[in-house]
Structure formats: C-alpha cells, structure tokens
Amino acid sequence: MAQAVFPFGLFLLLLFAGVVVCALGIRLLQQARGAPKPHRAGAGRPLGTVAIALGLLLVGGTTSWGVYWIVRQQDLDSRFTFTYTVQFEFNGSGVVLVSLPIPTEERLLAGLEIEGISATFAYNRSGAEPALDVTFSEPTNVSAHFLGRTPPDQFDPANLTRNDGQVSTLALAVLSGDVTSVHVEFEASWIRTCFVRTWEQDVWLSRGVSDHPGRWWTIVC
C-alpha cells in the first residue's frame, strides 16, 4: 500500500497565487478610491472586487485541499489489514486433518472461511501454541481477512506461531483412506501504509508432526 507524496510545491504556488490576486484586487480598490475623476474609479472597483473574491477563493480552496490531504493520509496511515490464505491438495483419497500455525491474536481470524463441501475447521489451543485444525477429503481453501486500525490493532508480524524465524510446525493425520501426502500453500500478510510483511510456505506434508521452512518477505516504500 503505497503512500502518496503531498505536492508541497504546488500547494505553495497556488497559495502564493491566491495571495497575489488578493493583493492586486486590494491595490485596484485603493487606486479607485484615490482616482480624481469618478468615471476612472468606476472600472477599478468591480475589477478589484472580483480579484479579491478570486484570490480568497483560491486561498481558501488550496487550504481546504491541504487539510483534506492531511486528514485523508492520516486515515490511510491508520488502516491495518491482515490476510491468511491456505490451499490444500493431496495424493490418494480419504479424510485428513492438517494442523497449521495461526496468530495468537484471535480477532485476526474472526472471519475465517473455508471452501470445501466436506471441510471443517477448529481452533486447537490444547498445546503450547495455538493451531488451526482443518479436516477435509477434497481440495480445500481456507481464508481470513481482517481490517482494523493502528492503534489499537497494530499486531506485530512476528505474532504468528512458529518455532524459528524461518521455520514453522505443521502436522498431518490421515483419518481414513490411503492419503500419502498433502500439499500446503500457506500465506499470512500484515499490511499497513508503505509496509507489507508476509510469511509464506509451499510444502508437502507426510504423516506426523514436522518442521518446515518458509520465508519472510517485506515491502517498504
């Protein structure tokens, strides 16, 4: 999410132009008042009035634009987004249960959805670290999307269950059938203005609990 740069030079130019036009209008009015003959003063007064009105409009509009820009940018800077997506496929047929790492902050997964006719999920908090248990018998997708504000929702990207900076623990249990392995494509992202931090894995799981490497990547503007 890129941060737009305020065109400060254009802002000053427009503001200066408005002040100059106002000053010109005031000068025309002063000249009209000091004119020795009324017919000479008559043309200066409306021109001066119009110039002052245009100058004030330009100054006011430019100031409002600057204030709007600042307020809008502050609003964008306060936004926080978390996304969590997983895709499952497997070799063989049957029913399997896969345990995935999840953030310790429960609100981030409050809107979690699962795509798969027979798929179900549950939060497992029985161990030292929480996990997401997904049971399925066909290719399945899991996704969550959280929108918040910073503060109070500025959760640190490190707040994802893992036992090492580049490794996370996953588990596979075959409940029935002859499934030999499960393919997991996993991604979790923390997004703010000018900052994206993502943890991703693309692994094949065999039965049991095992550690698998992944990678962090960061985008900063």
Q: Could you tell me the pTM of the whole model?
A: 0.70
Instruction: Write out the chain's pLDDT in tens, 221 residues.
Output: 455 677 888 888 888 988 998 888 888 887 777 655 555 555 567 788 888 889 899 989 988 988 888 878 777 777 889 999 999 999 999 999 999 988 888 888 888 999 988 899 999 888 777 899 999 999 999 999 998 887 767 677 666 655 557 888 899 999 999 999 999 999 999 888 888 989 999 999 999 999 898 888 888 87
Q: Select from 82, 72, 83, 196 the least CA-distant residue to 148.
A: 82
By the 10 Å C-beta count (0-12 exposed, 13-18 middle, 19+ buried), 146 is classed as buried
Token pair for 7: 């065109």
What one-character-per-residue DSSP string does 187-198 give? EEEEEETTEEEE
Q: What is the pLDDT of residues 61-87, one digit of tens each?
A: 988 988 888 878 777 777 889 999 999
By the 10 Å C-beta count (0-12 exposed, 13-18 middle, 19+ buried), 133 is classed as middle
